[in-house]
Amino acid sequence: MKEMIALNQELAEKTGELEITVLNQWIREHHREKPLTYIIKTWGCQMNERDSEIMAGVVEECGYTRVDREEEADLIIYNTCLIRENAEMKVFGNLGQLKVLKRKNPKMRIALCGCMAQKEHIVAKLKKSYPHVDLVFGTHNIHELPALLLESYRDNRRQIHVLEDGVKTYQNLPSKRLYNFKGFVNIMFGCNNFCSYCVVPYTRGREQSRSKDEILAEVRGLAESGYQEITLLGQNVNSYGNDLESSVDFADLLEAIAVIEGIKRIRFMTSHPKDISRRLIDTMAKYPTICNQLHLPVQAGSNAILKKMNRKYTKESYIEMLNYAKASIPELTISTDLIVGFPGETEADFQETLAMVREAEYDFAFSYLYSPRAGTPAAIDPDQVPDDIKHHRFDRLMDTVNPIFLKKNQALIGRSQKVLVESVSKNDASILNGRTEGSKLIHFPGDSNLIGKIITVKVTKAQTFILFGEVE
């Protein structure tokens, strides 16, 4: 079975490379007057962002040039997310607005890919109500983008190809990374957890770990290219290696990456609380290149709700691991995910979540109203929480967590932080944006030649979600 997967991977990569060459030649023959242009719009998680980097590399290798506005593009790719209903509705709203652009430029190609494309009801809706969408493909067949485009140009017919499952290692395909100083590295794909509210196992398939050697080679390549920071990606990085024949786990992989010369910062996400180990925490504490940041999604503070969510841990085991991490790693920054209004959540359950965030004292959190996702067990749970109660509880959660975030940030005033400078402020060209080792956003005056460098910044002011400082 392992040999068959490896063979399929090799064939997919070679096929993708061949299709790039063929499309590139076709474009040069049929579009000599001006280069074709493209834009990719991405919703969702860092996995989607990494997929978009690969698609950007593929289409540029085919002969397209990136533009910043949809009005200027000959190819528009929407890389979509299905985790929250709001993201889905935004995609459909934006797709509707593209009808006008397609009328002005009938040769324009509009593509929808990502997690939304993996659901049958979404594809059916696209077929019925969005005839101007030319290509639909899923998370498992990104390598087929050149072939789908070529067929669309040749036949002028809609191309829909969504695989239920497939090879997810596209390391030999070109990639156009968003930054030249920090980068994402996929270590695994898919998820086996089947949380009762989540569509990821249905859209991204079962877990597939990349080999340790492949990952190390990619990280070494980034180090040689001058990258300062990498983020290791997986739906549940703590499950890394479970499907490999070699006895390697995530702590082993992290330790091997930590000693690669040149990489100054290593981050990872996402960790599932049911699988995180003390050995992983010990590895984080051992190596200074591993950032003192831990994203550990708790989702809820009630054991009854955690059981309904199929999370497979308790609030007690979660707090025990959190306390071990705090004791082991100095100045650890902790973030989490929280869901409000899950089916069956009572006021008592919600109070337990409030108690959890008070005890954990998170530095920041991604908080959401529960959003039913078609095909998940929670969506058909008869005990749905009314929207008005959800919104009221969400407001109360914000009233609880925001003062904690502010207190944690204010504790940094007057202290020096190592900051990776990432960009110039969109509102003020004299202000730079960067991230502390704990991944806190900080604004400070500076020159753009600092972008991509790690510098020392003294914190002078703090707000709930932002730090302000001065270069030392």
Q: Is the pTM of this model over 0.85?
A: yes
- Residue type, position 379, single letter: A
Per-residue model confidence as pLDDT tens digits over 155-183: 899 999 988 765 554 556 788 998 999 99
Supply the mean pLDDT for the chain: 92
**What mean pLDDT comes out for the span 272-301?**
97
- Across the strands, what pairs with 184? 231
Cis omega (within 30 of 0) on the bond before 270? Answer: yes
What pLDDT, on the 0 to 100 scale, is given for residue 106?
92
Structural domains in the chain, sorted by start: 2-161 (3.40.50.12160), 182-409 (3.80.30.20), 416-471 (2.40.50.140)
Per-residue model confidence as pLDDT tens digits over 387-397: 999 999 999 99
Per-residue model confidence as pLDDT tens digits over 132-153: 999 999 888 888 899 899 999 9
- Angle, vertex CA 154, rays to CA 151 and CA 155, nearest 5: 80
What pLDDT, on the 0 to 100 scale, is given for residue 1?
38
What pLDDT, on the 0 to 100 scale, is given for residue 449?
96
Q: Above 80 in pLDDT, residue 27?
A: no
What pLDDT, on the 0 to 100 scale, is given for residue 14?
46
**What mean pLDDT comes out for the span 298-304?**
98
What length is written for the chain? 472
Strands 333-340 and 265-269: unpaired
The neighbour count for residue 255, using CB atoms within 10 Å, is: 17
**What mean pLDDT comes out for the span 353-379?**
96
Helix (H, G, I), strand (E, B) or coil at 317: helix
> Directed axis angle between helix 145-155 and helix 46-62, to 10°?
50
Decide if 410 contacts 462 (C-beta within 8 A): yes
Q: Above 80 in pLDDT, residue 266?
A: yes
The H or E element that residue 443 is part of is strand 441-445
Out of 197-201, 265-269, 315-319, 400-404, least confident range: 197-201
Phi-psi region of 380 (alpha: psi -120 to 50; beta: other; left: phi over 0): alpha
- Residue type, position 291, single letter: C
What pLDDT, on the 0 to 100 scale, is given for residue 167?
54
**What mean pLDDT comes out for the span 22-43?**
81
Decide if 38 contacts 75 (C-beta within 8 A): yes
Q: What is the DSSP string of 224-291?
A: HTT--EEEEE-TTGGGTTTTSSS---HHHHHHHHHTSTT--EEEEE---TTT--HHHHHHHHH-TTB-
Q: Above 80 in pLDDT, residue 363?
A: yes
